[in-house]
Each structure stands twice: as structure tokens, then as C-alpha cells.
């Protein structure tokens, strides 16, 4: 898919949040990529290129802006709706299939060879399955680093990294700083953490505006499945069937602007990444 440079630049110049998630703005002079609505002064048109996804920007050598957090949702919203191979692949990657079964396992689920799948994804979103999985892991890791008290080694494995060194290298490449600095910066921005019950993990999950939490809660309450889902006040609770066991999550949709507060009880820490996704 090609992006019209002039149309994209007009959206960036206007800081139009409606285009967040449709593309990212990569600035050649700084090596940083941003959302269209990033509050910094817009760069010159000749210094930017526009890419479909955070993974495509990372593959091209750009790092995420730490002010507008363009990787808050690594893929484009349209991939949640598309029924073709690329859309299905994006959803399976977000579910952690690459970490569990590798690229051959992902390709087998979709009925393609690994090489064919790589060509499809590179053509559609500008990055192959490994780069997309890496972007998803980095996104999960940032959430866990910034919003939970988990040790950094625990974060590394919960996010799907094979080693702490791989985790450190990826975070440094994607965000330009080590995980410890991400945590320190988050602590300076917010001196408080949401207290959680024993055995539970509390996370802040960012979302893209516009978002209508009350309308969503009404929709979920009207369709709740007894014994699986429940809506109480501003909180949605449900059970999850994850790759390594069951989990229970409570999502407080109205507690904080810009993020959903999630309280997660997972039976296996390896399922934290898929649960966050």
C-alpha cells in the first residue's frame, strides 16, 4: 500500500489525531518516528517519510518518540478487521504465535510457506513477521517496565524475549534508552502506582482516541456471557483462555484518561504478553 506524501503531511501539519494508527511519521534528520498528532513542531516535508506501522519504522532504523509513544498500539486498527492473510497474521503475531511456534508455525497456521508469508507482510505493512513480533514484544515490555513493579529480568521473559540481553538490546534500539531509564522516566512522570491485590498484576494499557468507555461498557453489559463476563460500574471482568492456562482480568475503563487500568491474574507468567495484547 502506498501512502500519499502530501495528504499525510497535511495531517501531520494539522496534528490531526484521527490519523493516529493509520501511519507513522519517520524523520530522517533525527532518526525518530512519531504519531501524526505528535505535539512537537512538524518537521520539513522533505525530511520525512510515512510508513504503515511501528514495525516498518523500526525495520528502517527509526526509534520511537518517547513523547507521543507512536508504538502504543503497534499495528494499524484496520488489521483487526481485515480477513486476508496479512490481517490474520497480524492478529496471530499479537497473540504471541511467533514466540511459541516461530515463523514456520505462523506460516503453517495461515497455509503459506514462511517465504510467501514474509513477502505478503513486507508488501502490506513494510516489515516481515520477525520484525512485527519484535515490535509487539517491545511494546509489551514498555508497558510492563513503566507500569508494573516486575523485575526487569521477569519483564524480559514475560514479554517473550529469549534472554535478558536480547531484551536490553531491543529496548535500547527501539526507544534509544535502556529499560532502567524507561522505568526511571515513568517514575518521574507518575509518583504513584495503582495498588493491586496479592497475586495480581496491575497495568495501564494505552489506547488511541477517540474512545467512548461508557458506550463500550453498555455494549459489553448487554452482551455479557454468564459465567464468563460481568460489568460492574465502570469495570469489565472476564475469564481468558491463554496458551498456557486460564486467566482472569478486570478492566477499569473509566479510571484514567488515555489508558485502561487492567488487573490481571494469570496462571502462567508466559501468558502475560498475549494477555496484554
Look up the CATH number of the domain holding residue 199: 3.30.310.20
Distance (Å, rounded) from C-alpha 160 to C-alpha 270? 7
In this predicted structure, the answer to whether residue 192 has a pLDDT above a threshold of 70 is no
Structural domain contains residue 69: no
Same domain? For 272 and 202 the reply is yes
In this predicted structure, the answer to whether residue 84 has a pLDDT above a threshold of 90 is no
Same domain? For 175 and 214 the reply is no
The mean pLDDT of the chain is 87
Q: What is the pTM of this model?
A: 0.72
In this predicted structure, the answer to whether residue 146 has a pLDDT above a threshold of 80 is yes
Distance (Å, rounded) from C-alpha 268 to C-alpha 271? 6
What residues are labeled active site? Answer: 34, 38, 65, 68
Distance (Å, rounded) from C-alpha 187 to C-alpha 201? 17
Same domain? For 81 and 55 the reply is no
Same domain? For 140 and 92 the reply is yes
Last residue of a domain, one of 148, 171, 188: 188
Structural domain contains residue 72: no
Distance (Å, rounded) from C-alpha 55 to C-alpha 61? 10
- Which domain does 117 fall in, by range? 77-188
State the total domains in the chain.
3
pLDDT of residue 193: 56
- Estimate to the nearest angstrom the gap between the alpha carbon of 61 and the chain centroid: 18
Same domain? For 103 and 138 the reply is yes
Longest CA–CA span in the chain (Å) reads 56
Counting residues of the chain whose pLDDT is more than 90, the rounded percentage is: 42
Same domain? For 97 and 157 the reply is yes
Spatial CA neighbour of 36 closest among 2, 5, 59, 70: 70
- Which strands sit side by side in the sheet containing 245-256, from one edge to the other? 201-206, 259-266, 245-256, 235-242, 229-232
Amino acid at each position: 500500500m502506498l501512502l500519499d506524501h502530501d495528504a499525510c503531511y497535511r495531517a501531520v501539519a494539522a496534528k490531526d489525531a484521527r490519523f493516529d494508527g493509520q501511519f507513522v511519521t519517520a524523520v530522517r534528520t533525527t532518526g525518530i518516528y512519531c504519531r501524526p498528532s505528535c505535539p512537537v513542531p512538524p518537521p520539513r516535508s522533505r525530511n520525512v517519510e510515512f510508513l504503515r506501522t511501528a514495525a516498518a519504522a523500526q525495520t528502517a532504523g527509526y526509534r520511537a518518540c518517547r513523547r507521543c509513544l507512536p508504538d502504543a498500539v503497534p499495528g494499524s486498527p484496520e488489521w483487526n478487521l481485515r480477513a486476508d492473510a496479512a490481517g490474520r497474521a497480524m492478529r496471530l503475531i499479537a497473540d504471541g504465535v511467533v514466540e511459541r511456534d516461530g515463523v514456520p508455525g505462523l506460516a503453517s497456521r495461515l497455509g503459506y510457506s514462511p517465504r510467501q508469508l514474509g513477502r505478503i507482510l513486507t508488501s502490506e505493512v513494510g516489515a516481515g513477521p520477525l520484525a512485527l513480533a519484535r515490535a509487539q514484544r517491545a511494546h509489551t515490555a514498555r508497558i510492563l517496565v513503566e507500569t508494573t513493579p516486575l523485575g526487569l529480568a521477569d519483564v524480559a521473559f514475560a514479554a517473550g524475549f529469549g534472554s535478558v540481553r536480547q531484551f536490553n538490546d531491543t529496548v535500547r534500539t527501539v526507544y534509544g534508552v535502556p529499560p532502567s531509564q524507561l522505568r526511571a522516566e515513568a517514575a518521574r512522570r507518575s509518583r504513584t502506582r495503582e495498588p493491586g491485590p496479592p497475586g495480581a498484576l496491575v497495568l495501564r494499557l494505552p489506547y488511541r482516541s477517540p474512545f467512548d468507555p461508557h458506550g463500550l461498557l453498555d455494549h459489553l453489559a448487554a452482551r455479557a456471557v454468564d459465567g464468563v463476563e460481568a460489568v460492574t460500574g465502570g469495570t469489565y471482568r472476564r475469564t481468558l483462555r491463554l496458551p498456557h492456562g486460564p486467566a482472569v482480568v478486570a478492566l477499569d475503563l473509566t479510571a484514567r484518561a488515555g489508558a485502561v487500568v487492567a488487573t490481571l491474574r494469570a496462571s502462567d507468567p508466559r501468558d502475560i504478553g498475549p494477555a496484554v495484547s
